[in-house]
Structure formats: C-alpha cells, structure tokens
Chains A and B, each alone.
Chain A
Amino acid sequence: MRIALEIARFEVMRVLRDTGAFFWIVAFPVIYASFFGMIQFTGSRSVSVGLCIADADSGFLARGLQSSLAKFSMELLDSTALAEYERRDGLTINEVALSDTLPSDCVRLLSIPAGFTDSLLHHNPVILHLTTGDEGAFMATITTQVMVWRAILENMAALIAASSDTSGGGLELQLEAQRARPQKVIVRSSFAGGVEQAPQGLSQTVPGTIVMMVLMILLTQGTATLVLERKQGLLLHISATPATRSEIIWGKLLGRYLTGGVQIVILWILMVAAQHLLGVWIGYRLIETVPLLAIYALAASGVGFFVAALVRSIDTAVGIGITVTLVMAALGGCWWPLEIVPRGMQIAGHAFPTAWAMDALHQLMAYNHGLGSVVPQMAILALYGIVFSAAASRVLRLT
C-alpha cells in the first residue's frame, strides 16, 4: 500500500510540475466557462431587466405605472435621469417619447406621452411606445413586454376599483390604496411533471466545464502518460522493484484520481471565489458539490484508466481521449442542459457518467435541492468508477 501511495504521489507531482498541464487544468476551463457562460445568458437568479422611462406626462397614473414596473424587478431609469439625456443628446423628453430612436446608454425605452393621465381619466385611448434596441436579448424583450402589460392591468384594475370607491380622499389616494391591497388572484406557474426550468449561463457552463475538463485531462494527458511509460519500459522497470503489479496499478489509478481531484479543487475554489468575492451568481449549495465532484473524479479516472489500458500508442490515446470526451460532454449535457433535449437523447446521454454528474450538479446548483436528492446519481457514478477501474486493472499490461 505504501508503494501504491508513493506512485500516486509521484504522479501528482509530475502533473503539478508541468507548466503546460497547468494551462489545460486551470486556465483553459476558466476561459472556456467564462466565455460560453457570458454568451448564453446573464447567469443571474433574478429576472431584473433594464428599462428607461421617458415620462412626458408626470401625472399620477404615469407615476403609478412606473411604481408597478419597479415592483416587478424592472431596473428603471426615471425621467429625472432622463433629463440628463435631454441635455446631452439635445432632445426634449417629449421628443424622446415620440421618436423611435433610443438615447445613448438606453437599450429599452418606454415612452409615456404627455396627457397620459388626463386621457385615461377622460376615457380616451392612449398609445405607449416600447422601443428596444437590444435585438440579441430576445428573452429580456419578451419579459419587458409582459411586465409592461402586467403594470397596465394592475393600474387599470386599481383605477376601476378606485372609481367605484365612495370613501372619499381623492382618486389618487384611492388608487394608491387599491394598489397596496393584497392581490385577489395569484397565478402560480410550474412545469409539468415537476420539471424545473433548465439552468442557463454560468449555472450551466461552470458545472459543464468542470465535468468536461476533468474528463478530458484524465482521458488525454492521463492516458498518454501511461502509454508513454509503458512504451519507454518504465512500467516494466518499476515492476522489477519491490512493487507488485497490483500496487503499480492502484498507484497509477490513485494518481489519476488525485490529479482529477487537484483540478476539481482548484476550479471549485475559483468558482466559490467568483460567486462570493466577485458577486457572479453561479449556483446554490456549492459546498455540497464537493462530495459529488469527488465521486465524479472516481468515475472519470476509472474511465480514463480503462481507455489507457486498451490503447497502445500516444496518437491513439490522444485521439480516442478527445473523441470520447467530446461525445460524453455533448450527450451528457455539459454543453447544453439535458433538460432541453428530446427524451430519447436524455436517455441515451445517461449511458455516460457525465450525464449523471450534470444531473446531480443541476439538482444542487440550479434547483437548490439538498445532497440527499443526488444520492442515486452519486451511487451510479461510484459504480462507474469501480467497474471501469476493475476492468482496467484486469486488462492493463505493463509491457
């Protein structure tokens, strides 16, 4: 056992001393996750969407509308701030409201025309302009439209209720009172079958990158190293020392497991630091991902060691390593959430440990479920590790 530990320690030391390996183990995953995380979505838990308001009316109904929008997590830029644009861009608020152009720094603009409050009080139709300049953010635009409609409905309902209120105090105060009352109808929405919304942005790419890159390192660098050692006669030479065959095999396997572990620890620390120090939302229950990732490292090192036991040349090792990693990453949900792919693809993906790992990470990080909810996935990952390690130890040749 002592010799196996010695071999494992030596394996990890070799990886840590390899400056080239550092790029692939740490730098590349960080760059990859950040890039694709930003492309996909904001990664934020809230649905806060920026909206500029050009209020040319300033009546109490216009203010009420803005108050409702603010309540729906809209980040409003009010007319006071818009006055700055008025000065800078040379447009009056009324001109901004009636134009299709957007002031600089505004990606969405709701223009409330002058006379908005009076028109409504006199039962005349009014047109609100919602202009968007952020064509790429389709979801944000749809969300804005829904929020504007919700705000209008709330205010119209409150206005009708206030109109029939005979308690006195003036319409504006009655309207405020109506809006402050608890809603009589609340809509709770959910996905059928208990399915939750698929994670997006960094909540998807960070766990996906960790799962993929750990597998890639163990399947390419780990496999090529073992093949080279066998080709150079190092394994045979080691077997002429007091080390037994099983000590060599378990030492090498443990070395790979610890290499995966080192990578996971570094990426995990960066993930936690990004969330807690930089305020980048990545997911819930990051502490509870540690035991899960430790078991995933066992499965990945087992698969990697099995491939290493089968291949005989470095070119084959790297080629197979990359191919297997990409297939397992794509079908296992590392690039996009498995929740959005057809049922058949989801079932096929679960032939690989990556899918079980991503399932479990989503449960913890995206859906905020406890560690108890991922015990089945952890058991399956452990089984992958045990089965592949045992198979590799049988087929691995030292010469």
Chain B
Amino acid sequence: MALVDVREIYRKFENIQALDGVSFTVEEGEIFGLLGPNGAGKTTLVRIITGVLRPNAGRVLIGGREISPATRDVRRIVGVVPQQITVYEDLTAWDNLLFWGRLYGLRGADLRSRIEELLVLVGLEARAKDRLVTYSGGMKRRLNLCMGLIHKPKVLILDEPTLGIDPQARLLLLDRVREIASTGTAVIYTTHYLEEAESICSRIAIIDHGRVLTMGSLAELLRQVRHKEIIKLHGAFDPERDGERFQAFPGFEIISLDDENVVLEPHERNGIPGILSTLLSEIPQIQGISVEKPTLESLFIQLTGRELRDQ
C-alpha cells in the first residue's frame, strides 16, 4: 500500500480551477517530485496533502487514512517545509524548535535530544542559541527543514525548499533530503528547478494549470522526448502576424511564440538544417538560434509550451 495516495483532487478558487483531477501515489522511502511553474497548483496541492485545505472533490490518504483539517492524528505523521521561511526571527533556533516540537506533543529530554540531533544534521549546532535575525537565508532554510522533521514524520512535504538560497546551501539541503528518504520517509518535493528534480527525485510528475501532464521516473519521462530536439529562436516578434508566417512553413509545430521567443518542434530530426535555412532567409527578426537536445526541460516545454525559469 502506498504511504501517500492522492486521488482525483479538484479544487477551485472563485473562477480559477487550481487543481483539476490530480492523482498520484508515493511509496515509503521514495522522493516524489512535483515539477511545475509558479501558479501550476503545486502549493494548493501541498496545502491539501498537509490537511490545511479541503479539496472540492477527491481525497488524500496518508497511511490509508484520510487527511483533512479535522484529522489531528493523521497530520501528526506528516511534516511540512513550506515555501516561505516560517521562523520566529526574534527568537533563537533552539526556542523555535522547542515551540514546534511542543506543538507535536514532544516534551522534556526527548525533545531536547531531538533538537540537538536535528541541529547537527543541518550544521547549526554552534549557532543554536543565536537569534535568527543574525542568520543568513540559507541557515533559516536549514532550520525550516528541522521544523518539518522535529517529530520524525513518515511523510515529509517540501514546498520549494531551496528558493532563494546559495548553491552550497542547496547542495547540503538536497543531501539531507536524500538521507531522510533513505530512512524510509516518503518525500514529496515540489520545485521549479529541473536539475533538482533530476538529481533527487525517483519519480516526477509535471503539473501545470492544476493537471498532471505526465508522470514517471526520469528515464521514462526522457523516453517521451528521445528523438525530439527543439528549436529556440530569439528576436523581436509580433505574435499575431509572425504566428501566421511561421505556420506557413512546413516541417515543424509551433510550441510557443511570444514577443521575444519562438519554440518549434521539428517533425523529423534530419529536417532541422532545412528549417533553419528557410527561417533565417524568410524571417529577418530572428537574432539567435539554438537547438536543444531532449531533456526534462524540453519535455516540459513540449507539454506546457512554457519554460520553467520564465514563470
């Protein structure tokens, strides 16, 4: 039985369908990546999985039991590291963890030893008694991870945990997430950094406009784009007028087109030189060309028509 079972989740905010039938499962010890641009519905999904928001339809089972704002016991086995850094900056790391531990019912020596253990895990033991106003962004992120882990959760949900931190702190954090998963914790990791998803997730779901567009292991996803290079054109375009001009040429599909970029998917790999030659001679606005090999990003572009970084 999967530790996390997300079944047909729908959620609407006024006229916006934030989640539109999302389903997936996560096993014990697995790191499951939710990859999507901002506004894709990842955070809404995280809120539903952590039990702070009710879906309009569908349900989330954690260890076979439904989670909701009313199910305190189920929430007790879930840990969350939110996108925002949620720490009390006027207090020390120790005081923050003390408070968070007490919310989960931890007390006394057990709580103290757990705090010490976590501070060592993230390398903050020497700064435990310093106020957080003296911490860097990366240090606060690491402390935020501790808050999600204080009660040894069976399911850990990380919502963009590396947002705004330096590469060194990011590598440290990713290492710790791998360690945590190796102990049997099921990890749901949302990100819009492709390389993070590629580096730590055993399975990935690409989500956009509230829907899972595709899902599988990295190898399975890359197989979908194995022979599909994409052509990226840079320049100054008029989406309406140039859209019609591009469509007049044979041999490719237009994936996306805006004022500065056009992304094309050739029908055949060996047709690329001919396409480039034609376009360069016929469309003078083109200032730059790149041909990209199949990657998770090209799959993402192919599926969504958008680049993750540009969101």
A residues at B contact (CB < 8 Å): 2-3, 6-7, 10, 13-14, 17-18, 232-234, 236-245, 398
Residue of A nearest to B73 (CB): A242
Let me know if B86 and A234 touch, CB within 8 A.
yes
Kindly list chain A residues whose C-beta atoms are within 8 Å of the C-beta of B72. Answer: 242, 244
CB atoms of B69 and A244 under 8 A apart? yes
Interface residues of B in 88-102 (CB under 8 A from A): 88, 90-91, 95, 99-100, 102
**B91 in contact with A238 (CB, 8 Å):** no
Q: With A244-B72, A245-B69 given, is the CB distance from A237 to B80 under 8 Å?
A: yes
Contact B52 A240 (CB under 8 A): yes
Do residues B91 and A232 form an inter-chain contact, with CB atoms below 8 A?
A: no
Chain B residues whose C-beta falls within 8 Å of the C-beta of A7 in the assembled complex: 103
Partner of B69, one of A3, A14, A232, A239: A239
Chain B interface (Cβ within 8 Å of chain A)? 47, 50-52, 69-70, 72-73, 75-76, 78, 80, 82-86, 88, 90-91, 95, 99-100, 102-105, 147
Known: A237-B82, A240-B52, A242-B76. A3 touches B88 (CB 8 A): no
Whether A241 pairs with B91 at a CB distance below 8 angstroms is no
The answer for the CA separation of A243 and B76 in the assembled complex, in Å, is 9
Q: Which chain A residues border B51 with CB–CB below 8 Å?
A: 240
Write out the residue numbers on chain A whose beta carbons fall within 8 Å of the beta carbon of B85. Answer: 232
Interface pairs (7), CB distance under 8 Å: A6-B103, A7-B103, A233-B83, A236-B86, A237-B147, A242-B73, A244-B69
Instruction: Given A240-B78, A241-B75, A242-B76, decide whether A6 and B102 contact each other with a Cβ distance below 8 A.
Output: yes
Set B47, B95, B103: member contacting A238, Cβ < 8 A: B103
B104 close to A241 (CB less than 8 A):
yes
C-alpha gap A18/B131 in the complex (Å): 11
Shortest Cβ distance from A5 into B: residue: B102
CB distance from B161 to the nearest CB of A (A): 13
Residues of chain A within 8 A (CB-CB) of B78 are 240
Report how far A49 CA is from B72 CA in the complex, Å. 70
A245 to chain B, nearest CB (A): 7
Alpha-carbon gap, A184 to B74, bound state (A): 87
Bound Cα distance from A236 to B76, whole angstroms: 15
Minimal Cβ-Cβ distance residue in B for A235 = B86
Pairwise interchain contact B90-A18, C-beta atoms closer than 8 A: yes
Contact flag A17-B82 (CB < 8 Å), given A241-B104, A242-B104: no
**Chain A, residue nearest B86 (CB):** A237
Cα separation A233 to B159 with both chains bound (whole Å):
13
Contact of A242 among B84, B91, B103 (CB under 8 A): B103
- Give the interface centre of A10, A17, A232, A241 by most chain B CB atoms within 10 Å: A241
CB–CB B103/A14 < 8 A: no
Return the contact of B82 from the options A13, A236, A244 (Cβ within 8 A): A236
* Residue of B whose beta carbon sits closest to that of A241: B103
* Separation of A243 and B71 alpha carbons in the complex (Å): 10
Kindly identify which residue among B73, B90, B95, B100 contacts A241, using a CB–CB cutoff of 8 Å: B100
Which residues on A sit within 8 Å (CB–CB) of B102?
6, 10
A232–B84 contact, CB under 8 A? yes
Beyond the given pairs A3-B103, A234-B86, A236-B52, 17 more chain A to chain B contacts, judged by CB atoms under 8 angstroms and listed by A's residue number, are A6-B102, A7-B103, A14-B91, A232-B84, A232-B85, A232-B86, A236-B86, A237-B80, A239-B69, A240-B50, A241-B103, A242-B73, A242-B105, A243-B103, A244-B69, A244-B70, A398-B52
Q: Which residues of A contact B50 (CB under 8 A)?
A: 240
Minimum CB distance partner of B53 in chain A: A399
Closest to B78 in A: A240
Give Cα distance in the complex from A17 to B104, angstroms: 23
Shortest distance from the beta carbon of B128 to any chain A beta carbon, whole Å: 16
In the complex with contacts A3-B103, A239-B69, A242-B103, A14-B84 CB distance below 8 A = no
> Given the complex, which residues of B lie within 8 Å of A6, measured CB to CB?
99, 102-103
CB of A317, distance to nearest CB on chain B (Å): 17
Are B90 and A17 within 8 A (Cβ)?
yes
Expressed in whole angstroms, the Cα–Cα distance for A398 and B104 within the complex equals: 19
Q: Note all chain B residues with C-beta closer than 8 A to A238.
A: 103
Report B266 CB to chain A, min CB distance, Å: 44
Residue numbers in A under 8 Å from B86 (CB-CB): 232-234, 236-237
Q: How far, in Å, is B186 (CB) from chain A's closest CB?
A: 16
CB distance from B263 to the nearest CB of A (A): 35
How far is B80's CA from A238's CA once the two chains are assembled, in angstroms?
A: 10
User: What is the minimal beta-carbon distance from B15 to any residue of chain A, in angstroms?
Assistant: 19
For A236, the closest partner residue in chain B by CB is B52
Q: Are A239 and B99 in contact (CB under 8 A)?
A: no
Closest to A7 in B: B103
| Most chain A Cβ neighbours within 10 Å, of B83, B95, B103 | B103
CA of A320 to CA of B122, assembled, Å = 41
